[in-house]
Amino acid sequence: MLTQTLTLGSLLLVSLLPCLASGRNSSQFLNPILPGFHPDPSCTFISDEETFYCASSSFNAFPGIPIHASKDLTTWRLVGNVLNRESQLPELAVSVGGTSGIWAPTLRLRDGTWYLVTTMVHDKKAADDPTRWRNIIFTTRDIWNEGSWSDAAHFDFEGYDTSPFWDDDGTSYIVGSHAYKVEPGNHLAKVNLTTGELQSNWTNLWAGTGGLAPEGPHLYRKDGFYYLMIAEGGTGLGHMETIARSKNLYGPYEPNSANPILTNANTTEYFQTIGHADLFQDAYGKWWSVALSTRGGPSFKVYPMGRETVLTNATWDEGAWPVIHSPVRGVMTGWPLPETGQYLPGDGPLVDQGDNDLRFPPSCQLPPHFLHWRPPIEGNYVISPPGHRNYLGLKPSKLNLTGIDGNSAPGGQTFVGRRQVDTLFTYRVVLDYAPKEAHEEAGVTLFLTQNHHVRLGLTLLAASNTSATFTPHFRFMTEPYSSAAPPFSAPVPDSLQNTSLTLEIKAVNETHFSFAAGRADSEELAIVAHAPGDVVSWGFTGTLVGVYATSNGGNGTEMAYVSHWTYKGEGQTRSNSSPATTLVGKEGVLAVDYLPA
């Protein structure tokens, strides 16, 4: 049994690896391996370190492009975020639209340097606007030191999902996708990966098998062939992975007659939208594939966690095409897994770890898994402000969570959250807040994007529509409007006035969330509203839970104080037939210790 300790200021998080009933070298594992908002995975195995590393995409979230590492393909620790300083990529601050920001990254190590190649997409710009696609390279020689990642080096390419490749002679290339302006397909150019300088024009290698949006290309060199593996069909129910190969880098590429080589399309599987895969080998030479997937079955209606990272085993015999195991399911059998419990450096949280009553003591920083929507407004997040030791002080932004129009938020929004990583969970904070100006508001949110979120706040509203007196109200709303959960406001009951409150968001089942409030000094909470999960099932991202503060465009400047931040996973659903179960103590799943503070 291994005990890992993560110290954040005075706060202590303890996670325990359960005793493994069957010992290791079991070949059973559970999906998703990176639950919650972790789309477009790119993974690689570093044999010297016997460590697997994965990057995933982050859209407008900041810090962005999380890297996770594992020794056993089961326990994944947050190594850091590639994008951790606004100055690395200032234009993220002005991105417009919930599907904008950082799209699919590819992570590779070459001669001691890590390369992270990706695209900053301004998705609301016209398809033929060359500034829509901003292709970039980040590098570091020390992946465990997130501050060492370089600023973005730009390279010219009007497309996305860019991925580096080195030929036998060491020449570096990038392959990327065009679905729009030029001919759809996967294009190759010689690129200096340090400077981003193009050293050739772009050549379309292969447009796929005819599916929608050929994208997510990766090139592999094996047994005298160049293999070009891509995704097609769009990132919805038709998503699939296809492959072609050639003896020459520039083709012609011959498609595999067995395409698609990975898909759950046209099945009733709980895991859908499988695609955007990467391939890598473990220390025993066994092949594995990661891909993105959405849980919720083929109805594809409620999938709040969005696109998550799943694992499946593969076989790639000499001279033969790779075969990737499908269908992808929640409980899988693959190759013998490396021994678990091996030491991983770093002090980041595990991907499925909860937050146990977090405080914000003086001199601590926000934990590395906390996220803002775009780079944060400097100074709006104050740790242990005067009179509120161990609290996080939130200064209100003018803009609320909707922002200008659901898409843009120039100047920024005061919001901080973390990923939902469990089908069922309870999220709670203590909020100490006394709004003083009309319409200023602070509260909790289940946040997918500016135009898809749910929020419950405390605000000051007119006592009636003819009154000039403003009194504290709860206000609940969904964006967009949902007839199943219409917005409302209601006066805060006397018993909840002038006291710290506990605010709670809970996934009560696979399809619904409840929002509740109560006195912080009591265990009793009253449910204020329910929200259907389809409100936050949209686009490319996954839900975050967190807190916000805003003047709603008014004059408010009152700080809101937050503490006792708790996120507790209460179960994962991994198939149509099995309801959410808390697999604490089962093989491969971390038990999150929930000691009362």
Ligand X SMILES: *[C@@H]1O[C@H](CO)[C@@H](O)[C@H](O)[C@H]1NC(C)=O
Interface with ligand X by CB under 6 A: which residues?
A: 24-25, 27, 192, 194-195, 200-201, 238, 240, 260, 263, 265-266, 284, 313-315, 323-325, 333-334, 336, 339, 400, 402, 404, 438-439, 465, 494, 497-498, 508-509, 511-512, 530, 552-555
CA 305 – CA 389 distance, rounded (Å): 33
β-bridge partners, 547: 416, 444
Q: Which is nearer to ligand X, 166 or 180 (CB)?
A: 166
Least CB distance from residue 125 to ligand X, whole Å? 22
Helix-then-strand count for the chain, H and E: 0, 42
Please identify, using beta-carbon distances, which residue of 259 and 353 lies nearer to ligand X: 259
- CA dist., res. 539 & res. 97, Å (int): 10
Q: Is the distance from CB of 211 to CB of 238 less than 8 angstroms?
A: yes
Residue 268 corresponds to which amino acid? Answer: T
Helix (H, G, I), strand (E, B) or coil at 48: coil
Cβ closest to ligand X, residue 281 vs residue 509: 509
Nearer to ligand X, 194 or 268 (CB): 194
Neighbours of 48 (CB within 10 A): 6
CB of 514 to ligand X, least distance (A): 7
Nearer to ligand X, 234 or 361 (CB): 234
According to DSSP, residue 111 is labeled T
DSSP class of 443: E
The whole-angstrom separation of Cα 362 and Cα 355 is 18
CA–CA separation, 55 vs 49, rounded Å? 17
Taking the complex as a whole, the smallest distance from the CB of residue 459 to ligand X amounts, in Å, to 8
The runs of H, that is alpha helices, within 187-321 are none
Q: Closer to ligand X at the Cβ: 170 or 596?
A: 170
Cα 44 to Cα 114, 244, 248, distances in angstroms: 11, 21, 24
Nearest CB to ligand X, comparing residues 77 and 398: 398
Q: How far is the CB of 141 from ligand X (least distance, A)?
A: 15
3-class DSSP assignment, residue 235: coil
Distance CA 54, CA 56 (A): 7
Q: DSSP E strands: which ranges in 492-596?
A: 501-507, 512-519, 526-532, 544-550, 560-571, 591-592
Distance separating alpha carbons of residues 567 and 588, to the nearest angstrom: 20
Residue closer to ligand X, measured from CB, 266 or 365? 266
At 410, list the tokens: 């120039």
Q: Between vectors from CA 159 to CA 265 and to CA 68, what angle results, nearest 5°?
A: 65
CA dist., res. 291 & res. 309, Å (int):
6
Other beta carbons within 10 angstroms of residue 290's beta carbon come to 26
Residue that has been written with the tokens 């089961």 in this structure:
74
The one-letter amino acid at 574: R
CB of 443 to ligand X, least distance (A): 11
DSSP state of 351: T
Structure tokens belonging to residue 54: 């994965």
Q: Where are the beta strands (DSSP E) in 397-469?
A: 414-419, 424-432, 441-449, 452-462
* Residue with Cβ nearer ligand X (336 or 345): 336
* Nearest to 464, CA basis, from 428, 491, 503: 491
For residue 462, the minimal CB distance to ligand X (Å) is 10
